[in-house]
Amino acid sequence: MIDKASYLIESWSIQESGLDISDLGRSESLFALSNGHIGLRGNLDEGDPHGLPGTYLNSVHELRPLPYAEAGYGYPESGQTVINVTNGKVIRLLVDDEPFDIRYGDLRSHQRAIDFREGVLRRDVEWVSPAGQTIRVHSERLVSFSQRSIAAVYYEIEPVGDPARVVIQSELVANEQLPAWHGDPRAASALESPLRSERHRASGTMVELVHITHRSEIRVAAAMDHEFAGPDSLGVSSESEPDAGRVTATAVLAPGEKLRMVKFIAYGWSEQRSLPALRDQAAAALVAARQTGWPGLVAEQRQYLDAFWKRADVEVDGDPEVQQAVRFALFHVLQAGSRAERRAIPAKGLTGPGYDGHAFWDSESYVLPVLTYTAPDAAADALRWRYATLPLARERADLLNLKGAVFPWRTIHGEECSGYWPAGTAAFHVNADIADAVARYVTITGDERFERTVGLEILIETARLWRSLGHHDLDGRFRIDGVTGPDEYSAIADNNVYTNLMAQRNLVAAADAARRHPDRAAELGVDAEVTASWRDAAENMFIPYDPHLGVHPQSEGFTEHQVWDFANTAPEQYPLLLHFPYFDLYRKQVIKQADLVLAMQRRGDAFTMDEKIRNFAYYEALTVRDSSLSACSQAVLAAECGHLSLAHDYLREAALMDLHDIEHNTGDGLHMASLAGSWIALVEGFGGLRDGGEVISFAPRLPEGLTRLAFGLCVRGRHLRVEVSDSTAVYTVPAGPAMTLLHHGKTVRVVPGQPVSMEVPPTPVLERPKQPSGREPLRFLRLPGTGGRIGPTGPSGSVNSIDG
CA 788 distance to own-chain centroid: 28
Give rounded-to-5 percent helix, strand, coil for the chain: 35, 25, 40
Task: Let me know if 488 is a catalytic residue.
Answer: yes
Q: How many CB atoms lie within 10 A of CB 664?
A: 7
- 708-715 vs 718-724, strand pairing mode: antiparallel
Residue 730 has phi, psi (to 5 degrees) of -115, 125
Cα distances from 611 to residues 552, 558, 590, 605, in angstroms, run: 8, 17, 20, 11
Answer yes or no: is 592 a known binding residue: yes
Rounded Cα distance between 25 and 37, Å, is 22
Burial class (CB in 10 A: 0-12, 13-18, 19+), 182: exposed
DSSP, residue by residue, 458-482: HHHHHHHHHHHH-EE-TTS-EE--S
Cα distances from 508 to residues 208, 250, 372, 696, 713, in angstroms, run: 53, 68, 21, 18, 26
Rounded Cα distance between 246 and 57, Å, is 21
Rounded Cα distance between 654 and 634, Å, is 10
Which residue among 176, 488, 640, 684 is the active-site one?
488
Rounded Cα distance between 208 and 283, Å, is 8
Q: Which residues contact 299 (CB under 8 A, 6 or more apart)?
A: none
CB 12 within 8 A of CB 115: yes
Answer yes or no: is 649 a known binding residue: no
Encoded amino acid at 621, one letter? A
Task: Count, in order, helices (H) and strands (E) of the chain.
Answer: 20, 34
Angle at 227 between CA 224 and CA 228, to 5 degrees: 130
| Closest to 59 in 3D by CA, of 423, 283, 382, 433 | 382
Answer yes or no: is 361 a known binding residue: yes
Q: Known catalytic residues?
A: 488
Residue ranges at the known binding site for substrate: 361-362, 592-593
Annotated binding residues: 361-362, 592-593
